[in-house]
């Protein structure tokens, strides 16, 4: 009886934490279609369209005003809206958005000037950024005007002032918290993964330069996000940028764009004119099974389990961790059709696999042993796969690992990164871990069904003057390296999740490809 109570309590706790966890924001943003040419009537018309098209009912709730609303600062330094474009002021727009049951988002720069002042010759953007006005603007935007979200760009702070990202965004977050609006979400728009500190401040962060309305751009952003799944956790998301759906991409390219933004748990901000959106694109944006993937309560980003011949297979758990139900994408970014196949065991699945096509919203004929489909050029097949059993994992790629010191920040870039390497399984290694204890490669969820003894086999690229220390659940061993690029060692895992780290206090760690685990006769 006590056991049943315990299980019930645990289930209740699990549900509560899953409910509290935030999901990626869904809404619309003005930038992709209008750049700085926005106005209050335009924004209100889009807000109306969000309701009229049914996008609001499908879950899209934010109307985000991007660059272009700035007017001038008065003698007290107070920001005013653009007098011609927003004659009624910014509060009236936020009030209107709220009156429709939607949330309102706004935009600024961490420095003194906006990106629009540099790239779009918007002179009103000069001096419009948050720099030196953090408290004043936070009071105005979030308390007096009532906005609920802010995207914070970096042109002024970067190109112009060359500020350090972490203290800069921390100061802004503090100013927003101090006006009593801790629930305001911020988006760090630094066009590259900013560093693991970002999760203390922001709900999401951009990982790439600006998206544009073409296939090359969509493909590039997916590629950039492939090794970043470890940073999408606990209600914080890698932002793949606003959607270009409903503009000029082909039907299959739109499938890739939306399907992978959903599977990778990116924020979903529609970027087209919602008053003229083509029916086909609208139906895609409203597909409830794809939205459910994006808003899944686990909040995970799919990671690549196979990279063959330019194609990828990505997978993630949905609903609950480690069940036989997973979401799987067979992604073909190449320019010709490909058959993509993967053994079920590579997906940690076994038995008959029931398949549901998430684009067509139809059940398909089940498959056994191997999943396989012909995928057209620039296209993706996205399935919910329900197998009979979930297998214990045996492989952990370096490109799935969390790197506590990883960032992608130009001048202040740290050395450690995910390097493209043709010889590596999955096509990537982690390069330049080590040199200090903290510069580790960390796998936080190394799963063992029962716990016990395993043989760990580490694959790496041999090189001179390297060292390797493997830390399992805090217990460290020095590992002798060889010229073969493979080393094996016995490890003991406990039942459930384990943490494995690879580091070296004194030297670089060799480029790590992956490790595999084999259960030993316990
Ligand atoms: C940067 C951002 C874009 C957009 C513009 C506005 O380029 O990355 O998303 O906000 O600025 O000027």
Instruction: Kindly list the distances between the CA atom of residue 70 and the CA atoms of 64, 271, 341, in Å, as whole numbers in the listed order.
Output: 14, 20, 52
Catalytic one of 48, 120, 177, 210: 210
pLDDT band at 20 (very low <50, low <70, confident <90, very high): low
Q: pLDDT over 90 for what percent of the chain?
A: 94
Category of 410 on φ-ψ map: left (φ > 0), alpha (ψ -120 to 50) or beta: left
513 within ligand 1 shell (Cβ under 6 A) = no
Give the distance (Å) from ligand 1 centre to CA of residue 119.
9
pLDDT tens, position by position, 74-115: 999 999 999 999 999 999 999 999 999 999 999 999 999 999
SS3 content of the chain, % helix, strand, coil (to 5): 30, 30, 40
pLDDT (0 to 100) of residue 64: 98
Rounded to whole angstroms, the Cα distance separating 306 from 142 reads 45
pTM for the predicted model, two decimal places: 0.95
Rounded to whole angstroms, the Cα distance separating 267 from 253 reads 18
pLDDT tens, position by position, 229-257: 999 999 999 999 999 999 999 999 999 99
Average pLDDT over every residue of 42-70: 98
Closest ligand 1 atom to Cα of 125? 12
The CA-based diameter of the chain, rounded to the nearest angstrom, is 77
pLDDT band at 15 (very low <50, low <70, confident <90, very high): very low
Average pLDDT over every residue of 20-44: 95
pLDDT band at 18 (very low <50, low <70, confident <90, very high): very low
Q: Is 153 a catalytic residue?
A: yes
pLDDT (0 to 100) of residue 96: 98
pLDDT band at 353 (very low <50, low <70, confident <90, very high): very high
- Record the tokens describing residue 286, joined without a space: 């409203």
Average pLDDT over every residue of 176-199: 97
Rounded to whole angstroms, the Cα distance separating 213 from 226 reads 21
Rounded to whole angstroms, the Cα distance separating 103 from 183 reads 12
Classify residue 510 by its DSSP letter: P
Average pLDDT over every residue of 491-520: 98
Whose CA is closest to atom 8 on ligand 1?
210
Spatial CA neighbour of 334 closest among 386, 399, 378, 275: 378
To the nearest 10 degrees (0 to 180), the angle between helices 251-263 and 215-225 is: 20
Average pLDDT over every residue of 139-147: 98
165 within ligand 1 shell (Cβ under 6 A) = no
Q: Who wins on pLDDT, 57 or 13?
A: 57
pLDDT band at 522 (very low <50, low <70, confident <90, very high): low
Closest ligand 1 atom to Cα of 242? 9
Has residue 8 got a pLDDT over 70?
no
pLDDT (0 to 100) of residue 410: 74
Around 183, how many Cα atoms within 13 Å sit in the side-chain half-sphere?
9
Rounded to whole angstroms, the Cα distance separating 277 from 207 reads 27
Which one of 66, 109, 191, 194 would you pick to mutate in the ligand 1 pocket, going by the greatest count of ligand atoms within 8 A of its CB? 66
110 within ligand 1 shell (Cβ under 6 A) = no
pLDDT (0 to 100) of residue 16: 42
Q: How many CB atoms lie within 10 A of CB 504?
A: 21
């Amino acid at each position: 009886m006590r056991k049943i109570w315990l299980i019930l309590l645990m289930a209740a706790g699990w549900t509560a934490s899953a409910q509290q966890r935030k999901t990626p924001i869904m809404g619309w943003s003005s930038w992709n279609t209008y750049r700085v040419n926005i106005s209050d009537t335009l924004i209100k018309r889009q807000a109306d369209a969000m309701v009229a098209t049914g996008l609001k009912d499908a879950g899209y709730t934010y109307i985000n005003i991007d660059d272009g609303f700035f007017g001038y600062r008065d003698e007290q330094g107070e920001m005013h809206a653009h007098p011609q474009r927003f004659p009624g002021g910014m509060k009236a727009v936020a009030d209107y958005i709220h009156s429709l049951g939607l949330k309102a988002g706004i935009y600024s720069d961490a420095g003194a000037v906006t990106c629009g002042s540099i790239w779009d010759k918007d002179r009103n953007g000069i001096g419009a950024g948050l720099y030196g006005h953090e408290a004043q603007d936070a009071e105005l935007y979030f308390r007096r005007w009532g906005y609920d979200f802010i995207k914070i760009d970096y042109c002024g702070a970067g190109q112009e002032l060359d500020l350090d990202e972490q203290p800069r965004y921390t100061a802004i977050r503090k100013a927003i918290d101090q006006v009593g609006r801790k629930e305001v979400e911020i988006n760090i728009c630094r066009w590259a993964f900013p560093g693991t500190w970002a999760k203390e401040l922001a709900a999401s962060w951009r990982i790439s330069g600006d998206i544009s309305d073409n296939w090359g751009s969509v493909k590039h952003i997916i590629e950039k996000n492939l090794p970043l799944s470890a940073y999408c956790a606990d209600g914080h998301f890698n932002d793949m940028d606003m959607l270009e759906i409903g503009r000029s991409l082909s039907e299959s390219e739109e499938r890739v764009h939306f399907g992978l933004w959903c599977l990778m748990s990116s924020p979903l901000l529609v970027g087209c004119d919602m008053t003229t959106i083509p029916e086909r694109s609208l139906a895609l944006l409203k597909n409830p099974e794809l939205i459910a993937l994006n808003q899944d309560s686990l909040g995970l980003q799919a990671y690549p389990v196979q990279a063959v011949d330019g194609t990828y297979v990505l997978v993630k758990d949905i609903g609950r961790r480690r069940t036989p139900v997973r979401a799987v994408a067979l992604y073909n970014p190449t320019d010709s059709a490909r058959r993509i196949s993967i053994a079920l065991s590579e997906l940690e699945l076994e038995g008959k696999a029931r398949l549901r096509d998430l684009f067509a919203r139809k059940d398909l004929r089940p498959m056994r042993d191997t999943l396989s489909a012909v995928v057209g050029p620039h296209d993706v097949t996205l399935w919910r796969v329900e197998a009979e059993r979930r297998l214990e994992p045996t492989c952990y790629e370096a490109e799935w690992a969390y790197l506590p010191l990883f960032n992608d920040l130009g001048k202040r870039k740290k050395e450690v990164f995910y390097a493209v390497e043709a010889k590596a399984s999955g096509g990537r290694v982690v390069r330049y871990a080590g040199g200090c204890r903290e510069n580790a490669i960390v796998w936080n969820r190394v799963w063992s069904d029962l716990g016990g003894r395993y043989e760990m086999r580490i694959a790496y690229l041999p090189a001179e003057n390297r060292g390797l220390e493997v830390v399992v659940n805090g217990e460290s061993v020095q590992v002798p390296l060889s010229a073969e690029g493979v080393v094996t060692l016995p490890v003991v895992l406990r039942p459930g999740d384990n943490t494995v780290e690879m580091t070296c206090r004194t030297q670089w760690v060799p480029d790590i490809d992956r490790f595999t685990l084999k259960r030993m006769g316990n």
